Amino acid sequence: MHNPPYDDLRNRRKFLFNSGRLLVMLSSFSLLAGACTNNDDRENRLADLVIEQGKIVLDLNESRYHALNTIGSGLKIEITRQEKPLIVTRVSETRIAAFSSQCTHAGYEVLLPEHGILVCSSGHGGAFDLEGRVVNGPARSNLPNYETQLIDNRVHIVYPSR
């Protein structure tokens, strides 16, 4: 037997219940989409870099790497969002150095060189030279470095792939 007001109430409840389920499904989907975006970002960052035979290659004729044409200068290269950037410095006419920007004292990021010295951003007083070697504590260990070669104005960095 039909009871119109009762049916109407039941239909409304059903509608609200289904709408709620739809909302939950939509928000789960957007969370998943967010996770995919992060992965895509990671791949995009790696794709920004030129990799040849497993080495990162920086062409110093490209404007984004021009800082490396000046002795005493440096730049940071972001490999992924998950790790602190790599610091690359011009040590001499023939030498380029590459090392982690993660301070060996407490993990803060090390800043780019000024007057040949790279200061830790923590304010603890740690400082490093253009090769990432400690010149002032409390950091006791040098910054982990990576082998480099400078060939025809292109820097080749042996950076382990993750």
Chain positions contacting ligand FES, by CB under 6 A? 103, 105-106, 108, 120, 122, 124, 126, 138-139
Q: Which is nearer to ligand FES, 58 or 113 (CB)?
A: 113
* Closest to 153 (Cα-Cα) out of 60, 53, 50, 67: 60
- To ligand FES, the closest distance from the beta carbon of 116 in angstroms equals 18
> Any bridge partners for residue 59, and if so which?
154
The residue (of 34 and 123) whose beta carbon lies closer to ligand FES is 123
Measured from the CB of residue 106, what is the shortest distance to ligand FES in angstroms? 4
d(CA 149, CA 103): 24
State in angstroms the smallest separation of the CB of 123 from ligand FES.
Answer: 8
Residue nearest to ligand FES (CB): 126
Tell me the closest approach of the beta carbon of residue 135 to ligand FES, in angstroms.
12
Q: How many angstroms separate the CA atoms of 46 and 22, rounded? A: 36
CA torsion 24→26→28→34, rounded to 10°?
-150
**Cβ proximity to ligand FES, 23 vs 106, nearer residue:** 106
CA distance 75 to 62: 13
